[in-house]
Chains A and B, each alone.
Chain A
Amino acid sequence: MKVTVAVNGTYYTREVEPRLLLSDFLRHELGLTGTHVGCEHGVCGACTVLVDGQAVRSCLTFAVQMDGAAVTTVEGLTPAEGELHPLQEAFREAHGLQCGFCTAGFLMTLVPYLAEHPNPSEAEIREALSGNICRCTGYQNIVKAVQLAAAKGGGR
């Protein structure tokens, strides 16, 4: 089946099997391996990408459902070579990651969230990231990173 998707601003047309997951499409067809695959059944949030600006689990979506959609992956966050998105910068500064496996998913969940809620409370941040699992940090520094990004107006 033919599918055309705009990923990080570039149009890609591919002939794919209908069963192909969006996560596998991004990783294997397009080589965008920044999107990670964890539980593969819609619980861990590692595979989160933006579809038309909204955070979505790419492991629970068929690639062919994305025909005509705009997808943003973690690779699309950085404005230019060598620069980090303000939220990524805050994650680095506040030590919001250890192994980093879950980080792309957290970033992609939080970017649209901060755009919609520029000044979230701690409880609101914890609720916003409840669909993402991190097994290293205990979440403390992730919450701090989001607060730091919000304080610096990093929602963008």
Chain B
Amino acid sequence: MLLSEMKVVAPGSLTEALRWLEEHQDRARPLAGATDAMVRVKEGQWRSPIWVEIRRLPELQRMDQADGWVTVGAAVTYGRLLRSELMAQTAPLLAAAARDVGSVQIQAMGTLGGNLGTASPAGDTIPPLFALEAEVGLCSRGGGERWVPVESFFLGPGRTVRRPDELITAVRFAPQAPGERWKWQKLGLRGAQAISMVSLALRLQPGFARVAFGAVGPTVLRARKCEAWLSQAEAFDLATVRSIAQMAWKEVAPISDVRASAAYRQQMACALLERGLREVLAV
């Protein structure tokens, strides 16, 4: 289609937004901060006839903690995440990743829901959400609300289980433990506003480990063997840490692209895990 035929609608409520999606299905696409969408549109992709603007919907702005869940609305920006007192207390891992997304200008517009909807394997907020075992809230007019574990949400690069009539409305997760050790790491071609070549979200407590890698597979993935060994290890010396980190080699499934080769990504996955473990364990 021609860009001149494009339409942007700005519903005033979630119900109205869901009606647009239900009525127009594949012809309509949610538009949040536009930081990914606009680039794709300019590349000639994502030529959706109808864009449903959801950035300012009041129903998607929440950030709260209740009944054991921390809930973050889909339209909460990276800027709000990284400045939030609630995030600093309950999910510093996610806040740290939000700080590494793009530039301040992108952080002011880009949203958590948008990062999920774009479904890039290199999306920076996604490894923390895997490590937090978060759930993604989807809403439709016909089906109401459903919560999908973040690991089941992604089907591949750019593909998710979201139906065309559904909207990502929120993400929820249990808070990180107060004394827990955690680390977010991102390796890009330069320090600022680079797309990740490898990223790692790490959480450690006695008998508990979560290791999630970004940009080394068709979706973000968890290194379950590393997690098992980390949660069973009785003491961490340098040799143990190194041998567990080396296991990441077989757990990731990267491709070669313009940013890095598959072999380099495999090596760097191990290197990031070793570096992260040595830092949080002080070995």
**Could you tell me which A residues sit within 8 Å of B by CB distance?**
1, 17-19, 21, 40-43, 45, 48, 51, 54-57, 59-62, 64-65, 67, 109, 113, 127-128, 130-132
Contact = CB atoms under 8 A, between A and B. Distances in A.
A54 B77 CA distance: 12
Q: Which of B38, B53, B104 has the largest count of A CB atoms less than 10 A from its CB?
A: B104
Contacts, number: 81
Nearest to A108: B105
B103 A45 contact: yes
B42 A61 contact: no
Which residue of A42, A55, A130 has the most chain B CB atoms within 10 A of its CB atom? Answer: A42
A109 B108 contact: no
Interface residues of B, number: 26
User: Ordered nearest first, which 4 A-B pairs have the shortest CB separation?
Assistant: A131-B103, A130-B192, A54-B108, A18-B8
Given A55-B108, A132-B103, 16 more contacts: A17-B4, A18-B6, A48-B105, A51-B108, A56-B108, A59-B38, A60-B106, A62-B8, A62-B31, A62-B34, A62-B38, A65-B10, A65-B55, A127-B192, A131-B103, A131-B106
Nearest to B191: A130
Nearest to A21: B38
Given A42-B38, A62-B8, A65-B8, A109 B105 contact: yes
B238 interface: no
Contacts of A131: 102-106, 192-193
Question: What does DSSP make chain B's interface, helix, strand, loop or mixed?
Answer: mixed
B79 interface: yes
10 contacts: A1-B8, A42-B38, A54-B79, A64-B10, A67-B10, A109-B104, A113-B104, A128-B104, A130-B191, A131-B102
Contacts of A56: 105, 108-109
A81 B200 CA distance: 51
B39 A19 contact: no
Nearest to B35: A60
Nearest to B194: A130
B7 interface: yes
B255 to A, nearest CB: 23
Interface in B20-57: 31, 34-35, 38-39, 42, 51, 53, 55
A61 B38 contact: yes
Interface string B130-164: 00000000000000000000000000000000000
A65 B41 CA distance: 15
Contacts of A41: 38-39, 42
Nearest to A51: B108
Contact of B105 (A55, A62, A67): A55
A61 B4 CA distance: 16
